[in-house]
Structure 1
Amino acid sequence: MTTQLDAALAGPDGAVHPQLVTLRDLLLTDYTPTQIQHRCKHSEWVQLVGDLADAGGDITHAHLDALPPQNHVRLLRHMLVATGALELRSVLTDMVDPWLQHFLADQRPEVSALMRPYAAWSVLRRARHRHARGLDSPSSHKYVRTRITVAAQFLTWLDTRAVTLSNATQSDVDLWLSQGASTRHRVRDFLQWAYTAGHTTDLTAPWLGREGLPSRVLADNTRWALLRRCVHENTVALELRVAGSLVLLYGHIPTRIVELTRDDITSDGQHRFLTLAARPVLLPPALADLVDQLAEQDSRTTPGRKPWLFPGARRGSHRDAGALTKLLNIELGIFVRPARGAALCDLAAELPSPVLADVLGISTSAAARWSTLAARDWTGYIAARTHTVSELPKPDSSR
């Protein structure tokens, strides 16, 4: 078995490639001989790293960037970064740049000519600026790719109607939006850029984030029925029960749920808390028990690895948020958008928007919109806070 693995990772001289020694040790530690044998024969990423090793020379990100952005290429990059063979790069560089290169190569020249400056000077520029400020999320690359893909789809659709972007009208935009999924509303960003760059007239698409909020809110009886399933249905995977409860109770989205760690769980001796944003949130006893059980499932602490509450299949990574979202829908019937809307409406009816924003880590403007939807006026609360502060003793200026 060791001989087979060494041969798979060997360079032209027959020895294991120097950059792959740590990867070899990892495979021998984490997998059984049968699993290693299977990977050497059938895993595309093992075969790919073998080809790179056999070619000789250093293995670099550039080698992987030149390949189609398929799953086995992404998995190999992850393994090489995790074992120190390659340096860590931003998610945008790893997940967007190689994809964009291949995506544009498949487009018509007219589409590529518009997509290149739009991607480089609008979408990617803003995404990298947010990354530099630490404001991006694990799904940033998906939003970037979606905006570029949707814009290209819109241009292709216009071409099928023998309409150019410069001649497109608002009626064309409205018709295209009405014939597809809500994701098409992401074309709003491209239309704004195209107008500023002088490629089209002032066209627009409704912003996906603010339209139709009331229709996307789950009914109370449905929400509580789903929550009961999460708490009591033992046949459902524990991680789905916990994740579903966090969506239904606190409006916490999967991209943030999967980033929770065991360190986010705290206790004061009587109650258990979970830090969702900046502050710990009190957990109901039934949910606290589920969270404790989930934490105990993988309680091992490995140096250099975060103690993820939702560990992923890849070494050192957390659960994929997109896969978790799909499972919540399939296994529990929980659609995140309406479930989250119901939770935020409920919380906004009990908390002033500044507190809601602080506890859940959402923007103050978003919290204010949910408070408006919940039809609550918190001016009385603000006045009470102001009155209380005014009664506090003033500091002694003589000190």
Structure 2
Amino acid sequence: MGCGAEDELYSGGRCWTCVLGDVVDDLLTNQATGSMANELIPLAAALKSMKRANSGLTWIQQKHVAAFLRNLAGAPDITHETFDGLPDSRTREYVRGLLIEHGVLPRRDEFRTRYENWSAAAVDRTIDPQNRDIVRRYVRWHHLRRMNQMDEVTRGAFLRAKQQVTVAIDLLNWLTGHGTSLTELSQAHLDLWQAEGPTTRRIAEHFLKWAIKTKAAPAGLTIVTHRRGTSPKLDKAGQDEALGRVLQAKGYIEARDQAAAVLILVFGQQAERIAELTWENVTVTDELVTVRLGSIKIALPSPLDEPWRQLAMNPSHGLTAAHPNSKWVFTGQFPGKHINPGYLTQRLTRLFSTRAARLGTLHELTKLAPVAIIAETLGYSPITIERHATDSAAAYGRYIAAVRT
């Protein structure tokens, strides 16, 4: 018998919610005992109470998801260690996230844990045993030490650490293939290695500085780095045109994409920082919408405020079990996580080049206000803004010098 609610029927006179409830109970019940583990009851309740029951049913009836949940129901313990012992998959991490969001598993620094697991396997890709020890020390005493000093490792820090170690291993394996050790590394070796490969090899600069500092490599070696100021920038006319196109496409572009586009085109924000924005940084009233990017709240005039009002009125976090009480403005696909910055960039790329737009915006802003004010308002370091000011010939460094005298 169905619940009797006036809702869209799924089959046999029963609605989506009723069918979803039966499927959830079946999958999360231990087949050996005939009962559901106490740790899984909050998860079952969250899944069964989803506002979008049809989406939940579509997800849970996938063969790999159903098989995972049935295996989980039979597990002797529900712990992070239990999950770590299972094959790595998106389903494993998604269900782990659900259990964290609903209080079954404690929160942990996922990116730090992922980096530890990744680096342990990456070290083994180093051919020479002596170089393998160098990479192991680089991981432990450089990257992991830095991560231990963070409150929580960010996605950006995780990806940068992975990339730097990957390039370091590439360099060391190249040296091994050329019969040379790191202690015998010369500038000629470095120049040849960098010339033969992709531009990402310049990232080896980070490893090289560490190796020289720890006396694992000779002093005085340098990597040819990226020349600043060579990346394309969207000019003022292009920025205005892109902003108008974004704001006038109401109904064709999602409000969250419009809101993110405003932060890039008007305030030069990076996708990673936009993704990490929480509702604590946003205030929406009948009179005003403000967003805190640095240490100052910025008022958004009409029509820049419209996407933010729509987001506040129709937050997406309550529609599924993944984000029951999310703090993120831009919720992601994984439970409790904000949107992946790369995915956000991909969505906006169909509208404009996010990198060119951000660089162009910062280029223009340095013509309008002092470096110190821009940095404080937008949450950038003064050094970063100073570089853009120099590039745009704004020369606001003189302003800072005058203030200090």
- The residue that corresponds to 2:83 in the other structure is 64
Match of 1:233 among 249, 252, 256: 249
- Indicate yes or no: 2:135 matched with 1:103: no
User: Is the Cα–Cα contact under 8 Å of residues 375 and 385 in structure 2 kept in the other structure?
Assistant: yes
- The residue that corresponds to 2:235 in the other structure is 219
- Indicate yes or no: 2:167 matched with 1:147: no
- Indicate yes or no: 2:269 matched with 1:252: yes
Q: Say if 1:311 and 1:333 are closer, same or farther in 2 by CA, change over 3 A.
A: same
Paired letter, 2:269: H
- Cα offset for 1:304? 6.6
Q: Say if 1:105 and 1:323 are closer, same or farther in 2 by CA, change over 3 A.
A: same
Mean alpha-carbon deviation: is it higher for 164-173 or for 340-349?
164-173
Q: Say if 1:113 and 1:379 are closer, same or farther in 2 by CA, change over 3 A.
A: closer
- Cα offset for 1:179? 4.8
Paired letter, 1:97: E
- Cα offset for 1:343? 1.2
d(CA) in 2 for partners of 1:269, 1:37: 38
Question: CA offsets, 1:2-50, max 9 Å, x none?
Answer: 4543342234423212221111111111276665555444254553343
User: Is the Cα–Cα contact under 8 Å of residues 301 and 307 in structure 1 kept in the other structure?
Assistant: no
d(CA) in 2 for partners of 1:256, 1:354: 19
RMSD: 3.2
Provide the aligned length of Structure 1 versus Structure 2. Answer: 379
- Indicate yes or no: 2:184 matched with 1:167: yes
d(CA) in 2 for partners of 1:68, 1:300: 28
Mean alpha-carbon deviation: is it higher for 5-14 or for 299-308?
299-308
Paired letter, 2:102: T
User: Is the Cα–Cα contact under 8 Å of residues 275 and 339 in structure 2 kept in the other structure?
Assistant: yes
- Indicate yes or no: 2:106 matched with 1:90: no
Match of 2:340 among 320, 324, 329: 320
Match of 1:17 among 37, 40, 46: 37
Unpaired runs of 5+ in structure 2?
1-18
For 1:374-389, list aligned pairs within 5 A.
374-378=392-396, 381=399
- The residue that corresponds to 1:194 in the other structure is 211
d(CA) in 2 for partners of 1:360, 1:32: 37
d(CA) in 1 for partners of 2:330, 2:168: 34
Relative to the length of structure 2, the TM-score reads: 0.81
- The residue that corresponds to 1:79 in the other structure is 98
User: Is the Cα–Cα contact under 8 Å of residues 293 and 378 in structure 2 kept in the other structure?
Assistant: yes
User: Is the Cα–Cα contact under 8 Å of residues 185 and 205 in structure 1 kept in the other structure?
Assistant: yes
Q: Which has the higher helix share?
A: 1
| Structure with bigger RCO (C-alpha 8 Å, 6+ apart) | 2
Match of 1:357 among 368, 372, 375: 375
- Cα offset for 1:89? 0.8
- Cα offset for 1:75? 1.8
Relative to the length of structure 1, the TM-score reads: 0.82
Q: Partner of 1:286: helix, strand, or coil?
A: coil
User: Is the Cα–Cα contact under 8 Å of residues 164 and 203 in structure 2 kept in the other structure?
Assistant: yes
Q: Partner of 1:30: helix, strand, or coil?
A: coil
Q: Say if 1:44 and 1:79 are closer, same or farther in 2 by CA, change over 3 A.
A: farther
Q: Partner of 1:78: helix, strand, or coil?
A: helix
- Cα offset for 1:181? 4.7
User: Is the Cα–Cα contact under 8 Å of residues 354 and 364 in structure 1 kept in the other structure?
Assistant: yes
- The residue that corresponds to 1:29 in the other structure is 49
- Cα offset for 1:251? 1.0
d(CA) in 2 for partners of 1:40, 1:380: 61
Question: CA offsets, 1:214-272, max 9 Å, x none?
Answer: 53433333333322322223433332232122112111111111222445333686553
- Indicate yes or no: 2:379 matched with 1:348: no
- Indicate yes or no: 2:49 matched with 1:48: no
Paired letter, 2:92: V
User: Is the Cα–Cα contact under 8 Å of residues 39 and 78 in structure 2 kept in the other structure?
Assistant: yes
User: Is the Cα–Cα contact under 8 Å of residues 5 and 36 in structure 1 kept in the other structure?
Assistant: no
Q: Partner of 1:273: helix, strand, or coil?
A: strand
Q: Say if 1:162 and 1:14 are closer, same or farther in 2 by CA, change over 3 A.
A: farther
Mean alpha-carbon deviation: is it higher for 351-360 or for 24-33?
24-33
- The residue that corresponds to 1:394 in the other structure is none
User: Is the Cα–Cα contact under 8 Å of residues 223 and 248 in structure 1 kept in the other structure?
Assistant: yes
Q: Say if 1:24 and 1:207 are closer, same or farther in 2 by CA, change over 3 A.
A: farther
Q: Say if 1:51 and 1:163 are closer, same or farther in 2 by CA, change over 3 A.
A: farther
What percentage of residue pairs aligned between the two structures are identical?
A: 25
